[in-house]
Chain A
Amino acid sequence: MKSVEELLDIASKCVRCGTCKSFCPSYEILRREGGGPRGRVTLAETSLKEAGMGGTPFGPAFQKYVKDCTLCGSCHSNCPNDVDVPALILAARTGYIAKQGLSPFASLAIKNLLGSERLRPLSMKIASKLQGLIFKGSTVEHALVSRFSIPLIGGGRLVPNLPERFFMESKTAKARKSGPEQGAAKPKVSFFVGCGVNYFLPDIGEATVRVLERSGATVSIPKAQSCCGMPALSAGDQKTAREHALKNLEVFEKEDCDYIVTSCATCGHALKDVFKDLLCDSGEEDSEMAKRVDAFVAKVRDITELIAPEGDIPVKDIEDNERPLITQDGSKVTYHDPCHLRRYQGIAEEPRILLESSGLELVGMKHPCKCCGLGGGLAFSNYELSIEIARIKAEGVRGSGADIVATACPGCIIQLKDALHRYGVDAMVVHVVELL
């Protein structure tokens, strides 16, 4: 992990020019320095100088400012001095968690729901049974609306219906839990499922497997995999995040596969970029652990990257296959860039090319790469701000005239569905792979 000295070095590159403010989704709405990257750099720098990662000299206002960030990374990618603002914000969050611990609700969510050892805890099962108590049905398929304001959720919020059967318990997953078919000349792909697909949007999992196998791959879905750790890390709980990273590394090392694929932009970013940071301290680039992580990372692909025409397993038969989701001819689709895919993984063209080849008409929207507002835990820590950020996206979709919004991240899908519902925009939201 990055040392305090390294983080301070990052902070010292900031000249306080303010360029980043114009790219920050939270500053645009909050209009306070602390609600934007330049203020956050200053706060994090001071906190690190005075208390390191083990605490913070500040109070609740600090906590609020560093929490009201979606970790979208726009500030970093537009900073002329390459200041890694999100790294500083994560360090600041770690500082206050060290000082006062996770809030009871965040702790419940991270430790018991998402963060459990395996992707099928009893607690989520119970939640699935009880969801009717706090949510009521909605006009949107597979979705519910909260009846009243509840902690972490907020009121009037559209959330996905917890499915009766999580993806990891589906026939598809169970049939593929042992390692990939050996010997055959087919490319071997192991599927990193992630919480979003498993608990909320299992259809994406089904589509991922379907498209991969149709394209000639053999797929395995290791049973013991867990959460990617990003929810814990975003909340400032590096310890839990590291446990997840280690667990997943071990599980996927056992799979004798050519590729590790995910259909979640956030999981992909975690696997490709964050695991190394979590599992190796700086200056340990040559350690045994670093070599293991590098070998693991070399195999990781986002699904759109893997199956793009230029990818390792180009998708087959788009034209003649039956595409379950497309009901009417002449549908228009627009694409939303997930922050974790475009900015952190540099993947922007692949999903668009796939959409174009799907036979649908691809139309542009305003601000395709603006953050949807869900990330960095903001959807739970400040729902009001999160959904206000999403308003810009909803208006972008409305203006595009599209019937379908495609994207490549379950988190974005959940947020965009809620936003379109709230702001009265009539369009369906799906993962790119569901259209192939």
Chain B
Amino acid sequence: MLRDSLKPITTSVQKELQGLLARENLSFLREDILCYSYDATNKIVPPEAVAFPETPEEISAILKLANLRGFPVVARGAGTGFTGGSLPVGGGLILSTERMKKIIEIDTDNLTAEVEPGVITGDLQAAVEKHGLFYPPDPTSFKFSTIGGNIAECAGGPRAVKYGVTRDYVLGLEVVLPTGEIIKTGGKTLKGVVGYDLTRLIVGSEGTLGVVTKAQLKLIAQPETRKMMLVKFAKLEDAARTVTGIIRRCIVPSTLELIDNASLRCVEEFTHMGLGGVEAVLLIEVDGRSESVEKDVLDIEGICKENASTEFRAATDKFEVRDLWKVRRSISPALKRLKSLKLNEDVVVPRSKLVELITGVEQISKERGVIIASFGHAGDGNIHVNIMVDKDDEEDCAKGLQAVEDVFKLTVSLGGTISGEHGVGTTKMPYINMELGAATIEAMKRIKEALDPRGILNPGKIFPAG
């Protein structure tokens, strides 16, 4: 929702902002405006100012001023979101958390970590690993996205199939509310039922209900060993059937990723792994104690063969593992090699419906005459369906948008959801009523109203106007 009452940052407001932050932590320069005008949707929406606060108090002061003067504020982590969450569509101030990058504590007695929101997820993972500990959430962007952004989008990744998503590791938060109050939710304890579960409300709220300034995260022990496998298939459907087969046998791999041929072709130009000609690939990883890992590998090999796999290979050294991950992580950006614009959807279906989703999408691609590249975290039913169009070709774009709608219809009809982890932002806004009932949307809007009466925090997201 974008309110008419929102105001621009005038020269006098600029002066007031200057009073709140150190000189080097605030910029109105065109250079910075441009650098904070995009995220991974590759759309350009310039803000009017960029702030780099260092403390919750500074953020609180900024938000109080925003309420007083009516300018929008948008929190931004690394700007790697896929749904435009950090784009300042109503103008205003970008609040970058890049300077809040401290790992405050790694508590090896309680198995928790306390961090500031601008910590890069991969840096936290490396730091806890030194203590033999493990922070499992691993969005494919973990090397460059922030914990704050991960919390706001409830990011998931390949490991979600076994370890769950960001939500499952957030024990408590410090949050600055849109009206400027600094609150604490949850804490270091593993349980807690006093009052509403505001922690869960903030997780996945896409930066619309508050700015996360600290997070208390749950850690677990590093698994004893891991084994990575690459399995090739002559038909995409066979690969999807294998995924369902593995789950049905109650084997829970730590990664179960599916990649189709269109995606493989794109990364081949960058990684040169000789996968360009393969129809479909499963990347499977199992972890745990050595004995159980060995057994899982054997069982999985059997299931792959039952489903007509054409080649099964277990990685032999860490370099092979690294190369395989590089293939997986490069897909999303590399799809640009297919066509100029990517309509990037991340639908999820109950895992028993995976084959229907995959064959349905192939059907849509044929009927609408558009290229669709599918890959993703198949193990948890989450497939990244990328509808590729030529951004300068109106007809192609129109066909693409129809295909998006078809994919969403199919997903909902299979009992799924239209976004597993990327959020709604601006790109999925027109479609939320395909999944949510009017009363549900209304309840959500009331929560937003209650916490952000002037509508200044990340306006224009999630809920379509009207």
Contacts and interface: CB of A to CB of B under 8 A. Distances in A.
Interface stretch (B251-259, B332-340, B421-429): B332-340
A42 B333 contact: no
B445 interface: no
B340 to A, nearest CB: 8
B39 A16 contact: yes
Given A15-B42, A21-B78, A65 B31 contact: yes
B32 interface: yes
B144 A42 contact: no
Contacts of A15: 40, 42, 333, 336, 342
Interface in B30-56: 30-32, 34-42, 52
Interface string A42-61: 11001000000000011101
Contacts of A16: 38-42, 79
Contacts of B35: 32-34, 39, 42-43, 65
Counting contact residues on chain B (CB < 8 A from A), the size range is 35 or more
A13 interface: yes
A80 interface: yes
Interface in A233-260: none
B79 A81 contact: no
Contacts of B143: 19, 22
B101 interface: yes
Given A15-B40, A19-B144, A80-B267, A46 B34 contact: yes
B442 to A, nearest CB: 35
A191 to B, nearest CB: 35
B122 A22 contact: yes
B337 A81 contact: yes
A42 B42 contact: no
Given A22-B122, A32-B98, A58 B141 contact: no
Given A33-B36, A58-B30, A59-B29, A17 B122 contact: no
B325 interface: no
A34 B144 contact: no
B78 A18 contact: yes
Nearest to A21: B144
A392 to B, nearest CB: 13
Contacts of B342: 15
Interface string B111-127: 00000001010100000
A19 B333 contact: yes
A58 B40 contact: no
A80 B40 contact: no
A18 B144 contact: yes
A16 B41 CA distance: 7
Contacts of A13: 336
Given A17-B40, A18-B79, A81-B333, A59 B31 contact: yes
A82 interface: yes
A166 interface: no
Interface in B300-353: 329-334, 336-337, 342
A82 B37 CA distance: 22
Given A16-B42, A31-B99, A81 B31 contact: no
Contacts of A18: 40, 78-80, 141, 144-145
Contacts of B29: 59, 61
A364 B396 CA distance: 52
A80 B52 CA distance: 29
B267 A22 contact: no
A304 B121 CA distance: 39
Contacts of B337: 81
30 contacts: A13-B336, A16-B39, A16-B40, A16-B79, A17-B141, A17-B332, A18-B78, A18-B79, A18-B141, A18-B144, A19-B333, A22-B122, A22-B144, A32-B32, A32-B52, A32-B98, A34-B32, A42-B34, A42-B38, A43-B31, A43-B35, A59-B31, A61-B32, A79-B333, A80-B270, A80-B329, A80-B331, A81-B270, A81-B334, A81-B336
Given A33-B32, A33-B36, A80-B270, 4 more contacts: A15-B333, A19-B143, A33-B79, A82-B269
9 pairs of A and B residues whose beta carbons are closest in the complex: A33-B35, A80-B330, A39-B35, A17-B333, A80-B333, A22-B143, A61-B31, A80-B334, A22-B144
